[in-house]
Amino acid sequence: MAIVVQKYGGSSVATPEKIKNVAKWVIKKKLEGNDVVVVISAMGDTTDELIDLAKKITEHPDKRELDALLATGEMVSSALLAMAIKSLGYDAISMNAFQIELLTDGTYGKSLIEDINERAILDRLKEGKIVVVAGFQGITEDGDITTLGRGGSDTTAVAIAAKLKGECQIFTDVDGIYSVDPRIYREAKKIDEISYEEMLELSSLGAQVMHSRSVELAQKFNIPIYVALSCSDIKGTYIREVEIVEQKPITGIAVSDSDVAITLQNIEYDTNLLSDIFEAVASKKINVDMISQTAPIHNKVNLSFTIPKDDLRDCLDVIKPYYKKDEIIIDEDITKFSVVGLGMKTTSGVASRIFKLFKQNDIEVKMITTSEIRITCAIKQQDKMKAVGLVAKEFNL
Ligand code: ASP
Ligand code: MG
C-alpha cells in the first residue's frame, strides 16, 4: 500500500467542525487504498496565544519551558483529530514526539530533526490505523521537549514522508504557491510546479506558505511536495525537481519585514575581527542574511548585516565586545525584497531592469545580496507595496 503523509495547518483545524471535516478527507484518502499518516498543527492561533500567555508571566520566558508550553498545542489537535476519525468508525491513533521518537539536536525554539523511529509509525499503519502525529515538536536525547520553529509542522511532515518513503501533501489555507503573496499583490498567478531551489529561496525569504527547512529536507531526499487547499479538490502546486526550459527569468517575489539591520561604523578593517563577530553571532545560532562592508578608508570600514528581529537581543549580547557604543546603528525600517527564478541562471539584465524601476520610482536600496537565482534588496518598509507592484508587472508575475 502506498503511504501518504498529509499535513493540515492550524487554520484547517481551527474549530471542532473543521477538525471533523478534516477527518472526512483523511478517511477518503484511506479508502482510496493508502496508508495514511496525518501531521497536524495546533488549532488556529493556539501557538500565538500560548506565546502571549507566556509573555504575561515574563517578558523573556525560559526557552525550555516555552517549548514545553508550545508543544501542548499540537497535543490537543492530534488527539481531537484521532477522536474525530474514530467517531466516524475508522481506526486512528494520535502520536506525539515521544511516541515516534522524533529526536532533535536540542536547540529550543528552532530544533533540527535528527531521527525518527519509523517502526513506531509503520507498526500502527500495519494494524490498519490512521496515524495522527503532533507536528512541530521533538525530543532531545535527555527527554526534553523542543520545537522546530514557527511553521515547523511542515518539516515534521516532510521528515516523516522521507523516512517512510511516502508521498507528502501539505494542506493549508491557500490553494497553492503564488508568484507573489496574493495578500500583497492581488493579481498574482498560481504556479503549477516550482523547483526546490526556488521554493527554498522564496520560503526562507519570507513567503509564508512553507517552512523553509521542510523544503530543504524534501530536496535532500528528493520528496515531491504537493501544496494545496485543505478539504478541497482544487489543483495545487508541486514542489519538485524542475528542468529549466525557456523559463521566465523570475518565478516569484518574496518580501519580509521580520529582519533588522545592524551597522557597525568605523570598525577596524581586519579579517580577524570580521570572523570573530560572525563566529559570535553563529554561536547563538542566529541566521545572518545580508552582509555588506564598505571599502576601507584609513583602515576603517562600516559593516552591515541583517538578522531576524527576534534575535536582536541575543545578537547584541554576543557582539558587545567588538564595538564601542557610538559605533552601532540599528535599523528596524527594513523590508527584504527578493526576486527568485531559476531562469536567472541563463538570463542577464534582471538586476538592471529592477534597479531602473527603483530609480524611476524613488525606491531607496539600502543593501543588496544575490545568489545565482535570486536578488535581494533591503528597502524601506513604506516602499514595499510599490516595489512589489512594479516588479510583478515588469516580469508578468
Ligand atoms: N503550531 C506551530 C506554529 O504555529 C507549528 C505549525 O503550525 O507548523 O508555528
Ligand atoms: Mg504553516
Q: Tell me the CATH number at 297.
A: 3.30.70.260
165 with 264, same domain: the answer is no
pLDDT bin (cut points 50, 70, 90) of residue 345 is confident
Report pLDDT digits (tens) over 36-76: 999 999 999 999 999 999 999 999 999 999 999 999 999 99
Domain final position from 331, 347, 369: 331
Domain final position from 289, 309, 331: 331
264 with 129, same domain: the answer is no
Q: Is residue 34 part of a domain?
A: yes
24 with 122, same domain: the answer is yes
Locate the ligand 1 atom nearest the alpha carbon of residue 154 and give its number.
Answer: 8
10 with 127, same domain: the answer is yes
Q: How far apart are CA 286 and CA 311, in angstroms?
A: 7
SS3 call for 24: helix
Q: Is residue 265 part of a domain?
A: yes
Report pLDDT digits (tens) over 134-164: 999 999 999 999 999 999 999 999 999 999 9
Q: Is residue 46 part of a domain?
A: yes
169 with 281, same domain: the answer is no
Q: How far apart are CA 371 and CA 386, in angstroms?
A: 24
Task: Tell me if 394 sits within 8 A of 356, measured CB to CB.
Answer: no
164 with 263, same domain: the answer is no
Is 9 annotated to bind a ligand? Reply is yes
Q: Is residue 96 part of a domain?
A: yes
CA-nearest residue for atom 6, ligand 1, is: 151
Mean pLDDT of the chain: 95
Q: Is residue 313 part of a domain?
A: yes
Which range, of 80-89, 150-159, 240-249, 329-338, averages the lowest pLDDT?
Answer: 240-249
SS3 call for 346: coil
6 with 119, same domain: the answer is yes
Does the beta carbon of 8 lie inside 6 Å of ligand 1?
no
pLDDT of 212 > 90? The answer is no
Which range, of 240-244, 273-277, 286-290, averages the lowest pLDDT?
Answer: 240-244
Task: Tell me if 6 sits within 8 A of 171, measured CB to CB.
Answer: yes
Instruction: Supply 140's cell numbers.
Output: 532531545
Q: Is residue 54 part of a domain?
A: yes
Which one of the ligands is nearest to 74 CA? 1
139 with 10, same domain: the answer is yes
Locate the ligand 1 atom nearest the alpha carbon of residue 10 and give its number.
Answer: 7
pLDDT of 80 > 70? The answer is yes
Q: Residue length, the chain? A: 397
Q: Is residue 278 part of a domain?
A: yes
19 with 151, same domain: the answer is yes
165 with 270, same domain: the answer is no
Does the beta carbon of 47 lie inside 6 Å of ligand 1?
yes
What pLDDT score does 203 carry? Answer: 83
Q: How far apart are CA 186 and CA 188, in angstroms?
A: 6
Q: Which domain holds residue 71?
A: 2-173
Is 45 annotated to bind a ligand? Reply is no
Q: How far apart are CA 283 and CA 41, in angstroms?
A: 30
| Burial class of residue 109 (count of CB atoms within 10 Å of its CB; 0-12, 13-18, 19+) | middle
What pLDDT score does 109 carry? Answer: 96
Domain final position from 111, 142, 173: 173
SS3 call for 395: coil
Q: Is residue 238 part of a domain?
A: no
161 with 60, same domain: the answer is yes
pTM (2 d.p.) = 0.83
The total number of structural domains in the chain stands at 2
pLDDT of 375 > 80? The answer is yes
Diameter over CA atoms, the chain: 77
Is 15 annotated to bind a ligand? Reply is no
Which one of the ligands is nearest to 47 CA? 1
Instruction: Single out the residue of 376, 292, 290, 287 nearest to residue 337, CA to CA.
Output: 376
Q: How many angstroms does the Cα of residue 150 sit away from the middle of ligand 2?
A: 8
pLDDT bin (cut points 50, 70, 90) of residue 248 is confident
CATH of the domain at 144: 3.40.1160.10
63 with 164, same domain: the answer is yes
pLDDT of 247 > 80? The answer is no
DSSP labels, 189-211 = -EESEE-HHHHHHHHHTT-TTS-
pLDDT of 208 > 90? The answer is no
Q: How far apart are CA 178 and CA 253, in angstroms?
A: 9
